Amino acid sequence: MHAALSKFFGFRSFRPHQEEIVQAILDDRDAFAVMPTGGGKSLCYQLPAAMKKGVCIVVSPLISLMKDQVDAANANGLRAGTLNSMTTASEREHVGNAIRAGELDLLYVSPERFNTGLFIERLKTIDIAFFAIDEAHCISSWGHDFRPDYLALSRIVSEFPNIPIAAFTATATPQVSQDILQRLGLRKPHITRASFNRKNLFYAVQPKKNVDQQILAFLQDRLRNRKNESGIIYRTSRKNVEATAEFLQSKGFKAKPYHAGMPDQQRNAIQDEFLQDDCPIIVATIAFGMGIDKPNVRFVLHGDLPKNIEGYYQETGRAGRDGELAQCVLFFGRQDIVMLSYFIKQIEDDEAQKIARMQLNQMIHFAEHDACRRVSLLAYFGESFSETDCNHCDICSGDVDRVDATIEAQKALSAMHRTGGRFGAGHITDILLGEKTEKVLERGHDRLPTFGVGKEHNKVYWRNLISALLAQGLARVEDLEYPVPKVTDEGWKVLRNQREFQIIRQQSGERAATQKKKSRSRGGR
Ligand code: ADP
Ligand code: MG
C-alpha cells in the first residue's frame, strides 16, 4: 500500500484515516467516510482502484469538475476516463475499448448516465472492482445539495450484489449520514468519521451595519502589512457581488467579481487569476469555490447570512488549506433573516421548504450563539469538542462586547413560564410589549403580571434576547419547526436570582428596520 502511495501519488505518508479506508476497500468491504473538504478523499478510492483488478466506477455530481479529476488522476499515472453527456462519440469508443482491454483503473460517470437502463446493462458485462460514490450527501434531501439523480444509486446493491461500494462526503450531519447509509443500502460498511475541527481557522461574527464599509475596514486592517494576501468575500446576490467588488476596486483593492450570471470565459479567467495570485481578492456568490484547492487563502468573509451551516462550513473551509492561520468573519444582521425567509417561502415542495427553514434556524442559532463558535459548528456535525476554550474564535478570545441583561432575561423567562412554554418568541414578545393582539386577548395573557413589563425595549431587542436565552441554554426548543421556548433548569437559576445573564451588545433596532427595506429586492445566486 505504501509503495503504491509513493509510486502513484508521490506521497510519503497517509493523511488521517486514509489508510484504514484503503484497507477496507482492498478487503472488499463497503465503506463510508465522512471527511472534511481537503481531507484527501479522492486518494481513498483512487489508490485501491490502481491496486485492484477491474475498474472502479466513480459517481460524481459535477460534470464540469470531472475532466479535472480525470486529468489529475492521469497525471498521477492512473488510467482514468469519463462518460457523461459531454463525452464525444470517439472518446466514448476509446473509453469502451480501454475498459474491455482491462486498461482502465477509474471510470468517472455522472449519476444521470448511471441512471439509464442501457448503461447499467453494459456495466454488467465488464469487470468492476468497486463503486466509489463521491459527494454522497447528494443522495439525501437533508443535505445541502440534494440531487434527485443520486437516488438511482440505490439500485447498485440490487443490480450489482457482489460489488463493494465506497461512499464519501464532506458534509454529513448524523441525519445525512443515516440517510446515505440507508439509501445506498451499504452492507456492514467500514465507517470513518474524521474530525471537522479546523484548528487554524479563527471564526468571528460581527453585527452587520454598513457591510461594504465593514469589509473595507477589515481589508485595510488585515492587508496593511501583507498586501497580496488572498481572500474570498461571499455575497448572496449577483447585484451585491458586483457592487462590493466595484466598491473595493474604487478603494484601490485588487478585487474581482464572480457569479453564475457572468460569461463562462470571463469567470474562468478570473478564477485562474485568483489561483495564480494575480487577483488576490474574489467577491463571489456561492457559485465560486467548488473544487478549488488554493492553499493560501487567508480570509473568507461572509457579507450576508448563509442559508445553512454546511454551506458556511464549506465556504469558510476554503481558507487556510495550507494549515497556516486564516480568518473567517460573518457579518450578521437580522435583516438577512427576513430576506432568506422570503426565499424559503417561495420553495414549492413542502418537505424541502421545511428543511430549508430548519437549516436557516440552525444558521441563525450559530450566528447568535453566545458560546464558542467552534463548539457550535462541531456540534452541528455531531462532534463534541471537549476543550472549554478554543482560544481561536471571537467568543473565546473575548472580542465581543457584552452587557448585563439579567432583569430582561427574568422578564422573558417569566413570560415563557407563565404561558406554559407553549408559545413562540413572537407571542412572548407581544406579551412583554403589552400588545393586545387577538391571540393575547383570547388567552387572557393581558392579565399576566408580565404583560407590558418590557416596554422599555423594542420588538427586535426582545427577539434577540430570546435567541440569546436559547443560545445560552436558559431556554430550549424541542421542535425547530414549531419553536416554542421552554425554561430550562439553568433558566430557573436566573429566575431565582442565582446567576446573572449577559448578552452580546446589539445593533439598534431602528437600524435593523431601515436596512430591512433596502435588502428586499435581491436576486438569486
Ligand atoms: P477532498 O476530496 O477530501 O476534499 P482531495 O482528495 O481533493 O480532498 O485532496 C485534497 C488535497 O490533498 C489534494 O491536493 C491531494 O493531492 C492532497 N493529498 C491527499 N492525500 C494526501 C497525502 N496522503 N499526503 C499529501 N497530500 C495529500
Ligand atoms: Mg473531493
Q: What is the 3-state secondary structure (H, E, C) of 383-430?
A: CCCCCCCCCCECCCCCCCCEEECHHHHHHHHHHHHHCCCCCCHHHHHH
Structural contact between residues 180 and 137, judged by C-beta atoms closer than 8 angstroms: yes
Provide the residue type at 417 as one letter.
Answer: H
Instruction: Spell out the residues 6+ positions from residue 349 whose beta carbon is closer than 8 angstroms to its own.
Output: none
Which of 12, 43, 195, 290 is the best mutation target for the ligand 1 pocket, counting ligand atoms within 8 Å of the beta carbon and taking the most?
Answer: 43
Mean pLDDT in residue range 238-258? 97
Give the CA angle between residues 303, 357, 154 to the nearest 5°: 110
| Residue of higher predicted confidence among 384 and 512 | 384
pTM for the predicted model, two decimal places: 0.75
Distance from residue 45's CA to the centre of ligand 2 (Å): 11
Residue 287 has pLDDT above 80, yes or no: yes
Residue 370 has pLDDT above 80, yes or no: no
Residue 450 has pLDDT above 70, yes or no: yes
Cα R_g (the chain), whole angstroms: 26
Among the listed residues 209, 288, 208, 293, the one whose alpha carbon sits nearest the alpha carbon of residue 255: 288
Burial 47-56 (b: 16+ CB within 10 A, else e): bbbbbbebbb
Distance from residue 166's CA to the centre of ligand 2 (Å): 13
Residue 153 has pLDDT above 50, yes or no: yes
Looking at the DSSP bridge assignments, the partners of residue 168 are 33
Residue nearest to atom 26 of ligand 1 (CA): 11
For residue 519, what pLDDT is reported?
A: 39
Distance from residue 360's CA to the centre of ligand 2 (Å): 25
Residue 93 has pLDDT above 50, yes or no: yes
Classify 391 in phi/psi space as left (phi over 0), alpha (psi -120 to 50) or beta. Answer: left
Residue 408 has pLDDT above 80, yes or no: yes
For residue 479, what pLDDT is reported?
A: 66
Mean pLDDT in residue range 153-159? 96
| Lowest model confidence (mean pLDDT) among 114-123, 470-479, 481-490 | 470-479
Summarised one tens digit per residue, pLDDT across range 52-70 is 999 999 999 988 788 888 9
Rounded to whole angstroms, how far apart are CA atoms 55 and 107? 7
Which atom belonging to ligand 1 lies closest to the Cα atom of 41? Answer: 3
H-helix or E-strand spanning residue 330: strand 326-332
Characterize the bridge pairing of strands 297-302 and 402-404: unpaired
Confidence of residue 481 (pLDDT cuts 50, 70, 90): low
| Residue 169 CB-density burial (10 A; 0-12 exposed, 13-18 middle, 19+ buried) | buried
Structural contact between residues 54 and 127, judged by C-beta atoms closer than 8 angstroms: yes
Which of 15, 44, 138, 198 is the best mutation target for the ligand 1 pocket, counting ligand atoms within 8 Å of the beta carbon and taking the most?
Answer: 15
Which atom belonging to ligand 1 lies closest to the Cα atom of 14? Answer: 23
H-helix or E-strand spanning residue 138: none
- CB of 70 sitting under 6 A from ligand 1: no
Residue nearest to atom 15 of ligand 1 (CA): 40
Which atom belonging to ligand 1 lies closest to the Cα atom of 42? Answer: 6
Average pLDDT, the chain: 90
**3-state secondary structure at position 86:** coil
Summarised one tens digit per residue, pLDDT across range 338-362 is 889 999 999 999 999 999 998 998 8
Positive or negative: CA dihedral 422, 306, 151, 39: negative
Rounded to whole angstroms, how far apart are CA atoms 491 and 488? 5
Residue 522 has pLDDT above 70, yes or no: no
Mean pLDDT in residue range 136-159? 92
For residue 518, what pLDDT is reported?
A: 37
Rounded to whole angstroms, how far apart are CA atoms 272 and 253? 18
Among the listed residues 491, 468, 334, 458, the one whose alpha carbon sits nearest the alpha carbon of residue 400: 468
| Lowest model confidence (mean pLDDT) among 282-291, 385-394, 409-418, 439-448 | 385-394
Characterize the bridge pairing of strands 502-504 and 402-404: antiparallel
What beta strand segments (E) does 160-272 contain? 165-169, 190-193, 201-207, 230-234, 255-258
Which residues have a beta carbon within 5 Å of ligand 2, which is an ion? 41
Residue 172 has pLDDT above 80, yes or no: no
Residue nearest to atom 2 of ligand 1 (CA): 41
Residue 115 has pLDDT above 70, yes or no: yes
Instruction: Spell out the residues 6+ positions from residue 188 whose beta carbon is closer than 8 angstroms to its own.
Output: 29, 30
Question: Edge-to-edge strand order for the sheet containing 230-234?
Answer: 201-207, 326-332, 297-302, 230-234, 281-284, 255-258
- CB of 293 sitting under 6 A from ligand 1: yes
What are the residue ranges of helices labelled H in 27-110? Answer: 41-51, 63-75, 89-100
Residue nearest to atom 25 of ligand 1 (CA): 11
Distance from residue 355's CA to the centre of ligand 1 (Å): 32
Q: How many residues does the chain have?
A: 525
- CB of 366 sitting under 6 A from ligand 1: no
The C-alpha torsion from 23 through 26 and 30 to 33, rounded to 10°, is: 40
Positive or negative: CA dihedral 386, 387, 389, 391: negative
Which of 196, 293, 297 is the best mutation target for the ligand 1 pocket, counting ligand atoms within 8 Å of the beta carbon and taking the most?
Answer: 293
- CB of 38 sitting under 6 A from ligand 1: yes
One-character DSSP codes across 260-321: TTS-HHHHHHHHHHHHTTSS-EEEE-TTS-TT---TTEEEEEESS--S-HHHHHHHHTTS-T
Rounded to whole angstroms, how far apart are CA atoms 231 and 255? 9
H-helix or E-strand spanning residue 378: helix 373-380
Mean pLDDT in residue range 206-229? 93
Characterize the bridge pairing of strands 326-332 and 201-207: parallel
Confidence of residue 2 (pLDDT cuts 50, 70, 90): very high
- CB of 382 sitting under 6 A from ligand 1: no
Summarised one tens digit per residue, pLDDT across range 24-54 is 999 999 999 999 888 899 999 999 999 999 9
